[in-house]
Structure 1
Amino acid sequence: MRLFYHPLSSYCWKVLIALYENGAPFEGLVLDNPQAAADLQALWPIARFPLLRDEQRGATVAEASIIIEYLGVHYPTAFTPIPMDVDSALEVRLMDRLFDNYVMTPMQAFVADRIRPDGTQDRHGVGQARTLLGKAYALLEERIAGRTWAAGEAFTLADCAALPALFYADKVVPFRASHPVLAAYLARLEARPSVARVLAEKEPVWAMFPFADGPPV
C-alpha cells in the first residue's frame, strides 16, 4: 500500500495513527515530492490527501475516515476502528464527526486566516470559529467524562480523529487549563505509541505551522 500524505496535515495524522495501530506495511509518499504530487493527481483528480493506493486489491481509497474503515475491513487486526455492535459503532462515528466538523474545521479557520495576505484577514470568521470551538470543548468535556477513550474503553476511529483535532486546536484556542477532562484525554492520546510516533515525525517541519510558537494574541 502507498499513502500520499504530508507530515503537517491533520487528516493525514488521523490515517497515520490508524496505520500504526493496524501494523499493515505501507509506503509513505510525502507530497513535497513532485513525482508523488503527480501520482496523486493521476490517481485522484481532486488531488486532496491523504489518499491510499492499495495495489494488491487495485483500490484507490480517499477520505481519512473511509481509509481507516477500509483498513479495518480488508486488513483486520486487533485494532478495530469500528465496533461490531451497532450502537457502539454509531457512537464512534458520531465522535469522529464531532472532532472533524466542530474541532478540526474551526481550528483550520485560524490557520487559513493567519496565512491570508495582509489586509484580507477575516476577523468575523475567526470569531465564529472561536465560538464554535468553545461550544465543542464544552460538549466533549461532558461526553468524554468517565471514558478512557473517545467512545468508550476501546481505541477506535474516533480517537484517530481526536488527536489531530485536539492537538492543533489547543495551539489556537488552548483548553488544557479550563477543561480538565479533555486535557487528561489528550495526555492519554499523546502517550500512546502510535500517536507519539506521528508527533515525533512532524518535528522536522513543525516550524511551518503558523502557530508553532503559540496561540494568536
Structure 2
Amino acid sequence: MSLTLYYHPLASFCHKVLIALYESGTAFDKRIINLGDDADRAELESIWPLCKFPVLRDHAQVRDVPETSIIIEYLDRHYPGPTLMIPADWDDALDVRLWDRFFDNYVQGPVQTIVSAHLTGLSCDQTKERTKLKTAYKMIEKRMATRSWLCGETFSLADCAAAPALFYACTLLPFPEEYHHLQSYFERLVTRPSVQQVLEEAKPYFNMYPFAQEIPERFL
C-alpha cells in the first residue's frame, strides 16, 4: 500500500485526518505510535523531528507529509475522493481554511491546554481557557443557524476539524442547552459514518483520556 499514517487512535488531531481518509475511501496502512515507547518515539522522530503526529508517508512519492491540514490538502491533490475537502472555488476554499484554523486554534487549543496541564501537573488558567471555549461555542451557534455543514451544504476540511474538537471540548465544557444549532450540528457530525468509525476505533483507548468520565455513555 502506498500510504502509511503514523498516528494514535485517541489523538484528536489524528481523528481529523482519519475522518478525511474515510470520507475519501483512500486505502492506507496504519502505524500506531506510542509516544511513551522509546522505539516508537524514535521512529516518529526520524520521520518528523518535531515528533508530533499524525504524519502521512507516501511511499509512491517518497514523501512524508506532516500537519493535519496539509495532509488533508495533500490527499485532495494526490488521492482525491468523491468530494474534495477543499473546494475548487478560491473564495469557498478560503472560508473552509478559516474555519479549519478556527477549530484547531480556538476549540482544540483550549482543550489541549487544559488536558496538558492536567497530565503534566503544570498550572494553567482554566477559567481563561473555558472562556475561550464559550466564545467559540457562541460563534458556532450563530454560524450553524443557516447551514448544515460549516461551509455550505458539503462536508469539508472544516468539518473534519470540527468533529474531534467538539467531541473533546464538550467533555470539558458542555454545550449550553439553548445552543440548539450547535447541538444539532454536533449530532450530524457524530452520526456521519466516517466520524462514527473514528470514534469506534478510539473507544478501546478512551480510558487513557484524563476526563474519560465525562465522555457521554453512548460513545463508550
- Structure 1 equivalent of residue 218 of structure 2: none
Partner of 2:152: 152
Structure-1 residue corresponding to 2:14 = 12
Alignment of 1:1-217 (within 5 A): 1-32=3-34, 35-117=39-121, 120-122=122-124, 125-175=125-175, 177-214=177-214
Aligned residues: 211
CA distances 1:132-176 after superposition (whole Å, capped 9, x unpaired):
111111011111211111111000000100001111000000005
AA of the residue aligned to 2:28: F
| Aligned CA distance change for structure 1 residues 56 and 8 (closer, same or farther; 3 Å) | same
Letter in 1 for 2:15: W
SS of equivalent to 1:145? helix
Deviation per CA, 1:95-146, whole angstroms, max 9, x where unpaired?
A: 10111111110111221222233xx433xx2111011111111011111211
1:34 CA drift (Å): 5.4
Letter paired with 2:12: S
Q: Cα distance, 1:4 vs. partner? A: 0.5
Structure 1: distance between partners of 2:142 and 2:10: 29
Q: Per the alignment, in what secondary structure is the counterpart of residue 67 of structure 1? A: helix
Residue 17 of structure 1 and its aligned partner are, at CA, apart by 0.3
Distance 2:41 2:24 in 1: 26
**Deviation larger for 32-41 or 108-117:** 32-41
Cα distance between partner residues in 2 of 1:66 and 1:175: 29
Aligned CA-pair RMSD: 1.4
Query: Any unmatched runs of 5+ in structure 2?
Result: 216-220
- Extract structure 1 runs of 4+ deviating beyond 4 A: 33-36
Distance 1:5 1:176, change over 3 A: farther
Q: Decide whether the 8 Å contact of 1:4 with 1:36 is kept in 2.
A: no
CA distance in 1: counterparts of 2:58 and 2:38, whole angstroms = 21
Identity %: 47
- 200-209 or 33-42: which moved more? 33-42
In the TM superposition, residue 177 of structure 1 has moved relative to its aligned partner by: 2.1
Structure 1 counterpart of 2:120, which letter?
R
What is the rounded CA distance, in whole Å, between the counterparts of 1:48 and 1:113 in structure 2?
18
TM-superposed deviation, 1:35: 4.7
In 1: Cα distance, 2:94 partner to 2:87 partner: 9
Q: Structure 1 unaligned segments of length 5 or more: list them.
A: none
Separation of aligned partners in 1, 2:31 and 2:65: 15
Normalising by structure 1, what TM-score? 0.93
Q: Is the 8 A contact 1:29 1:36 kept in 2?
A: no
Query: Scaled by the length of structure 2, what TM-score is found?
Result: 0.92
Distance 2:38 2:72 in 1: 26
The 3-state SS of whatever aligns with 1:213 is helix
